[in-house]
Amino acid sequence: MKAIVLNQKTYKLETKHVDKPTLSHSDVLIKLKASALNHHELWSLKEKDLKSDSGIILGSDGAGIIMEVGVGVNYLKKGDEVIINPSINWGTNRKVHGSNYEILGFPRQGTFSEYISIDQQYVYHKPKHLSFQESAALPLSGLTAYRALFTRGEFQNNNKVLITGIGGGVALFVLSFAIASGAEVYVTSGSEHKISRAIELGAKGGVNYKDNDWSNQLLNKVNGFDVIIDSAAGKGFAELTKLANPGGRIALFGRTTGYIQNLDPKLIFWKQLSIHGTSMGNNEEFKKMIDLISSQKIHPVIDSVYSTQEINLAFKKIDNSEQFGKIIIDMDTFINDA
């Protein structure tokens, strides 16, 4: 089969012929129709820290059709249209993943390939109202967003929600989930165009974080926020503690602007704020995320679709923060790939 393999010298992605995966007792073999890109893979490409004697196939998100099932598979069958939960070996503690936890893509071979073999416990029927490309946008970003908003953010009906850095996949899923759940949502971005797009999708308003007084602008619009979802950290994080209502929750899932600086501890303890780190989620949260998307007929925001040959160009777009929504790789383009 063909796969997009990491060149461990140049840290570019290259199409190569590799062995087709085999099935174990409880595995299913999926022919992938679409995959999606994430900052998770981008960080691996930029930090150049993945090493393996065998070829590395990245990719956490994927949707496709089951072609074969292992003898122990009991609730999936050939021909089923499915998506993959990339959160592997979470463990028994719902609060935090265990020591054997991994995200699909490394060390386990990921979804940038024609086929993938994976245990049935990580395979779910795709929402019927979504295409394969839309379904491929869900797994990593949708799961991260669901846990950040509902589990760690402890969202309640009619909460006011702030989402920083709107435009990425997770942030846009948080926006969709919060609006579907009755929230009043505001956003930040360094792009006026992205703020306008978010308002078109249902946000009440937004501010440009490049403005020196961006947090004061928000306070003039809203007295404060009950839930804040942040992916940046950095020096702007301290402003979020000022924007949080007493008893507010801040859920942090990223580090795009580096180390947190200048937090005022008095502000945190006097307002009794909760700051929660969050990443990915467990099987139960994945199922609840799919159920929410299906029941509310939520469609993910797709920025663009690239061929397998264009995957390095697609990652460059993410690195430049030019996207609004998920970037999809059409795996059917392997057919015409050299």
**Last residue in a domain, options 242, 277, 312:** 277
Is 286 part of any domain?
Answer: no
Task: Decide if 236 is inside a domain.
Answer: yes
Residue 135 confidence (pLDDT):
98
Same domain, 237 and 308: no
Tally of domains within the chain: 2
Q: What is the pLDDT of residue 151?
A: 98
Residue 156 lies in a domain: yes
Q: Does 158 lie in the same domain as 271?
A: yes
Residue 293 lies in a domain: no
Alpha-carbon span 215 to 212, nearest angstrom: 8
Does residue 64 belong to any structural domain of this protein?
yes
If you average pLDDT over every residue of the chain, what do you get?
95
Examine the domain organization and report whether 243 and 269 are in the same domain.
Answer: yes
What is the model's pLDDT at position 337? 54
Instruction: Check whether residue 330 and residue 220 sit in a common domain.
Output: no
Write the single-letter amino acid at 37.
L
* Assigned domain for 200 exists: yes
Range(s) of the domain holding residue 243: 143-277
Whether residue 176 is found in the same domain as residue 115: no
Q: How much is the pLDDT for 336? A: 64
Burial (CB count within 10 angstroms: exposed 0-12, middle 13-18, buried 19+), residue 212: exposed
* Measured distance CA(103)–CA(86) in Å, rounded: 6
Same domain, 50 and 133: yes
Residue 186 in tokens? 């505001």
Residues 147 and 162 in one domain: yes
Nearest one of 243, 116, 229 to 171, comparing CA atoms: 229
Q: Which of 81, 295, 282, 96 is nearest to 181 (CA)?
A: 295
Q: What is the pLDDT of residue 278?
A: 97
Pair (266, 330) in one structural domain = no
Query: Is 172 within the bounds of a domain?
Result: yes
- Tell whether 9 and 112 lie within a shared domain: yes
pLDDT for position 82: 98
Are residues 195 and 100 located together in one domain of the fold? no
Claim to verify: residue 156 and residue 257 sit in the same structural domain: yes
Residue 49: per-residue pLDDT: 86
Per-10-residue mean pLDDT for the chain, 338 residues long?
Answer: 94 94 96 96 89 92 98 96 98 95 95 98 98 98 98 95 95 98 96 97 97 96 96 94 98 92 95 97 98 98 97 95 95 77
Helix (H, G, I), strand (E, B) or coil at 289: helix
Residue pair 123/265 in contact (Cβ under 8 Å)? The answer is no
Q: Within this chain, do residues 47 and 131 fall inside the same structural domain, yes or no? A: yes
- Whether residue 271 is contained in a domain is answered as yes
Read off the CATH number of the domain in which 71 is found. 3.90.180.10
Which residue matches tokens 């979020």?
Answer: 240
Q: At what angle do helices 139-146 and 169-180 cross, to 10 degrees?
A: 50
